Amino acid sequence: MIRREPYADQEADFADEDLAPTLDDVGRAFASHVLVLNEERTANYRVAAIRAFDEVKERFRGADGELPAPRMDPLFDKISRIVDELESSPEALRAACTALLAG
């Protein structure tokens, strides 16, 4: 498996962060990143979150190249829920991120 930074598109934003060595770390890093984007609510926060998700989901691909099926990986389900909430209210997005961070 190739070891990749969770947010390669965010060149300098998180340059001082270590690579997330486990999938749990990747999930927490993603949720934390989206929480910051949600608070800032810049014009392109959704695009930035989707780009981050594109990087994150590559870490979840199996040996066959496929992503986990729904309900097969609870962590990936929580990450996917965050992406689903991008179009909802700031409160709903915050709740989805907090649910992942809470465990």
Query: What is the DSSP code (8-state) at residue 20?
Result: -
CB 9 within 8 A of CB 51: yes
Share of the chain above pLDDT 70, in %: 81
Per-residue pLDDT, averaged over 11-27, amounts to: 69
User: Could you give the CA distance from residue 46 to residue 103 in angstroms, rounded to a whole number?
Assistant: 24
The model carries a pTM of 0.79
Count CA atoms within 13 Å of residue 22 on its CB side: 4
Query: What is the residue extent of each domain of the chain?
Result: 23-102
